[in-house]
Chains A and B, each alone.
Chain A
Amino acid sequence: MKSQTLQKVDHSALKTNQIIIITLNILAFILNQPWLAAFVALMMGIGSALKIPGFGFVYKFILKPRGWMKPDVLDDNPEPHRFAQFLGFLFMTGGSVALFLGSSVLGWSLVWLVVALAALNAFGGFCVGCAVYYWLVRFNLPGFTKQPPAGIFPGMKPKASANV
């Protein structure tokens, strides 16, 4: 049985995470610093393990308390976003390893792929990793149980709370 229970998800925290990932990755590319890409991978990995956005602390402790970014709390499933971050972590890890092994084209391609997907999520409201999660649900894989919020295209940012 697929779960339909939605939780409150603050999309501002997710957006902050994505924008920091985009910024650091582009800096890593311009400055040709694979360690910076590896640092992003590490933070995404820690975030995945702790089930929080890797750079969410910037929003939680700096942006939100100062009112520089307002909460955007929506009824949503947190699991697909965690899965998306985990996918990003895998790509970033692959990219970093490739860079350290001297395969620049493969390494930076993976880094730019993460930039593109994060930008699509941050600025276009479409989470590719979430869409993949919802697609995997159809195969009844263990751990993939959540359905997209009612009336929302799988992966798109919910337009509104389903239940207030």
Chain B
Amino acid sequence: MNTELLLRFGLAIGIISLGIFIYWLINQRLLVRAQNNVFTLFKQFPNKPVIVYFTTPDCVPCKTIQRPALNQLSGLMGDKLEVVEIDATQRPDLARQWGVLSVPTTFLLNARGEARYVNNGVARVEKLMEQLQTL
């Protein structure tokens, strides 16, 4: 009985892990896509870490969580960070080019303009800070 339970639990974990792995692969593809489209945003890259933040006017978690988190991050890092906010309803072309399917979505680019992280959904300030530190 316990063996069967453990086996089924292991199997469930395996299936969920496979799903997460597929999700990770999709994110890697998004990063490559972002990488190829960096210069749709910049004529000259600012040579510092950049967060590209896709939002829409009616996105509630964008207003209540994501925007305050980015404000807090900007306050902490000052000139060492650039946040580029894109309204996906105003710039559907950019949302399409960057492969954005939902909001909020944040891309973190390092100082060389390489896309290193993508967060589909809300990314809290702690997570963003952690990602910025590893850029």
A interface, CB within 8 angstroms of B = 26, 29-32, 70-72, 74, 112, 116, 119, 123-126, 151, 153, 156-157, 159-161, 164
Tell me whether B57 and A160 are in contact (CB under 8 A).
yes
B88 touches A159 (CB 8 A): yes
Compute how far the CA of A164 lies from the CA of B120 in the bound complex, rounded to whole angstroms: 25
Q: CA–CA, A71 to B59, complex, Å?
A: 11
Q: Closest CB-CB distance, A72 to chain B, in whole Å?
A: 6
B61 part of interface (Cβ distance < 8 Å) = yes
Dominant secondary structure of chain A at its interface with chain B? loop
Residues of B within 8 A of A156 (CB): 101-102
In Å, the complex CA distance between A32 and B6 comes to 11
Please choose the segment from B8-16, B74-82, B127-135 that sits at the chain A interface, where 4 or more of its residues have CB less than 8 A away: B8-16
Cβ contact within 8 Å between A26 and B60: no
Q: Distance in Å from the Cβ of A57 to the closest Cβ of chain B?
A: 22
A58 shortest CB reach to chain B, Å: 20
Assess A160 versus B12: contact at CB under 8 Å? Given A116-B19, A124-B120, A125-B101: no
